[in-house]
Amino acid sequence: MRVALDTNILAYAEGINAAGKRDAALELIQQLSERIVLPVQALDELFYVLVRKAGRAPQEARGAILNWQDAFPVAETSTPVMLAGMDLAVQHQLSIWDAVIVSAAAHAGCRLVLSEDLQDGFTWHGVTVANPFCVPRHALLSSLLEGGTASMPSRSG
């Protein structure tokens, strides 16, 4: 099962905003490392957060983004991703930026988007949002972290 990360998870991993969540975010990323996909929109937003909110030099922020890109596959924001994101934003009153992240995750074949900002349990086109800091954790995320298959459908035919 593939898992997309929202900007806030990446920001926590970079030590931004809630310093106490840095270790939890890094542990989660380590546990899921083989399954992670990064929407390019999340990387764009992370650059902004690193420069504008964290006060990092643009060159340093660029280096951080390149490190993330080197570590995990990136889900591009293509025209179909953007169009589906606009539909999602209109239909569910999401910001276009959040909608593009969910759309990119769906187009990349992800089953989960880990986000603290989006509604835990929200599902669209087979992608479910899970807040990894909620207690209890969403069942799909819990199953994945425990080594389960999270009730993936059979592909036999």
pLDDT band at 147 (very low <50, low <70, confident <90, very high): confident
Please indicate, yes or no, if residue 30 is contained in any of the structural domains: yes
The pLDDT, as a whole number, for residue 148 is: 59
The pLDDT, as a whole number, for residue 150 is: 47
Q: Which residue has the tokens 């390019």?
A: 40
Alpha helices per DSSP H over the chain: 7-13, 22-32, 40-48, 58-71, 79-92, 96-107, 139-145
d(CA 25, CA 116): 11
Q: Name the amino acid, one letter, at 117.
A: D
Please indicate, yes or no, if residue 155 is contained in any of the structural domains: no
Mean pLDDT of 38-66: 97
pLDDT tens sequence across 80-97: 999 999 999 999 999 999
Number of structural domains in the chain? 1
Query: Residue 6's CB: how many other CB atoms inside 10 A?
Result: 27
Residue 94, by phi and psi: left (phi above 0), alpha (psi -120 to 50) or beta? beta
Q: Which helix (H) or strand (E) holds 8?
A: helix 7-13
pLDDT band at 149 (very low <50, low <70, confident <90, very high): low
Please indicate, yes or no, if residue 151 is contained in any of the structural domains: no
Please indicate, yes or no, if residue 153 is contained in any of the structural domains: no
Give the domain range for residue 64: 2-145
d(CA 86, CA 93): 10
pLDDT band at 20 (very low <50, low <70, confident <90, very high): confident
Query: CATH number of the domain that 60 lies in?
Result: 3.40.50.1010
Q: How big is the chain, counted in residues?
A: 157
Please indicate, yes or no, if residue 17 is contained in any of the structural domains: yes
Please indicate, yes or no, if residue 42 is contained in any of the structural domains: yes
pLDDT band at 151 (very low <50, low <70, confident <90, very high): very low
Q: With 70 as the cut, is the pLDDT of residue 152 above it?
A: no
